[in-house]
Structure formats: C-alpha cells, structure tokens
Structure 1
Amino acid sequence: MANILVTDDSKVQLAIIGRTLLGNGHCVFKADNGHDAIEVLKNNDIDVLITDIFMPEIDGIELIMIARRLNQETGIIAISGGGNLIKDVPYLDYVKQLGADFSFKKPVAEQDLLDAIEYLTE
C-alpha cells in the first residue's frame, strides 16, 4: 500500500482516480489545487504524487518542481488532457524534463496508472 496524493482541479478526475487507487489498497490524499497539494506534501509521507498539469494558480509544472525540492524520493506522475506544447516541447515530455517519472494523457488507462505506481513503489 502506498500513500498517494492526487491533485486535479476536476472533482470528477479526483473521484475517478481516488476510487481506483482505494480499490487497489492505496491510501489516497486528494487536493483540488496546488496550494493544498503543497501542504499535503509538507505534512505527510507521500510515496507518489499524481498531478494534473493545467490548473489555476499553482499549476502542475510548478507543483512538480516544488515536490522535487521537498522530497527527491517521491514518485511523480503527470496527467493532462489539455494543451500540446510548452516552450516548443510537447508538454508531456517537458514535465519529464522537470522531474516527473511518468506522464499520461487523460483519460489515463487504469492499468497504466497502476503499473506506473507499482514501478515507483517497488
């Protein structure tokens, strides 16, 4: 069982991913914005951060960089359904350059997400 923080400004995505993770025995923390996610990261031992990229205020890109500064050991999975390029680089490649271990386009296949979590928590 891993401690997983899911951050997404979509309540629907939070519910879907949270339900999947709980059903597979993980402890799930949820945040619907980057500010709350940072507080969870600071106050809990999080094994894996799953974050949306495009969110208001603190976006997933900034959250990934902050999470890496707080704990190099936290696995990071970036997900997104919007956008295409950031600084002329495909955004899912860009977030890997910033420290994400995996990146997926929404909707994420349940098994792909679970496989990534298993890899990060071995």
Structure 2
Amino acid sequence: MPSVLIVDDEEAIRRLIRSTLEQAGYHVREAADGKAGLSHYRQSPADLVIMDILMPDQDGLESILTLRREFPEARIMAITGGSDMIGILNFLDVARMLGARRTLQKPFEMQQLLDAVQAEIAG
C-alpha cells in the first residue's frame, strides 16, 4: 500500500486530504509543520510528501530544501493557498525550483489531488 505524508498546519485540510487518500487505498500519516514532517520522514520515508508552503515554525520551502538535500529521491508535491510573490515568482514556482515535482494551488478539487498523487506515485 503506497504511503503519503501530509504536512499542513491546517487540521481541517489534513483531515480532508487524509480521508480522501485513505478511501483511495493509501496509507497516510500527518504532520502539522515542517519540523514534524521532516522528523516523520526521517523515521519512515513515505512514497510521497504533500507539503504546504505557508506554515509556522518551519515553512514548506525550507522543508522541501531540507528533504531534497537529505533524501534526493524524495517525491514531493507542494500545495498552498498563498499567492504571494518572491520577486517575480510565486511560492509554487519556487517550490518547483527547490525540488517539488508537482504543485497544486488551494483550493483544489479532491479529484485533482487524487490524479496528481496517483501520477506521482506511479512514476
């Protein structure tokens, strides 16, 4: 059973994503911030990490950078509801540059998420 680690500071978002993925047959773990997410991944790597960008303590961009440095093979999908810009790039562009293989802008449909997760884990 493929495993997914959800890292998002919003409990309601984690719960919705978890429920959707578990119904589709995935084993799901959760973390409320980047530090906890990295700790979970170090203990037991997941097939895919769904990483929110805007979180307290350690944001998703820093967490993606750390994950890619420590685990170059890690598969990461970045998600965010933020539309702020860093220079001329938005957060999801920067996440891709740091190693996220897929990105989704919140709000997204659960079918979009399922399609992206399935495609990422398949290949």
CA-based RMSD of the aligned residues comes to 1.1
Taking only the aligned residue pairs, the percentage that are identical comes to 34
**Match in the other structure for 2:11:** 11
Question: Contact conserved, 2:8 with 2:14, CA < 8 A, in 1?
Answer: yes
What are the superposed Cα offsets for residues 5-28 of structure 1, whole Å, 9 maximum, x if unpaired? 001110100100010111111010
Cα shift at 1:86: 1.6
Q: Normalising by the residue count of structure 2, what TM-score does the alignment of the two structures yield? A: 0.93
**Match in the other structure for 1:25:** 25
Moved more, 79-88 or 100-109: 79-88
Question: Contact conserved, 2:82 with 2:91, CA < 8 A, in 1?
Answer: no
Structure 1 residues without counterparts, runs of 5 or longer: none
Structure 2 residues without counterparts, runs of 5 or longer: none
Task: Give the secondary-structure state (helix, strand or coil) at the position aligned to 2:46.
Answer: coil
**Match in the other structure for 1:96:** 96
Q: Distance in 2 between matches of 1:108 and 1:2?
A: 22
Task: Give the secondary-structure state (helix, strand or coil) at the position aligned to 2:5.
Answer: strand
Task: Give the secondary-structure state (helix, strand or coil) at the position aligned to 1:17.
Answer: helix
What pairs with 1:41-52 in structure 2 (closer than 5 Å)? 41-52=41-52
**Number of paired residues?**
122
Ranges of 4+ aligned residues in structure 1 off by more than 6 Å: none
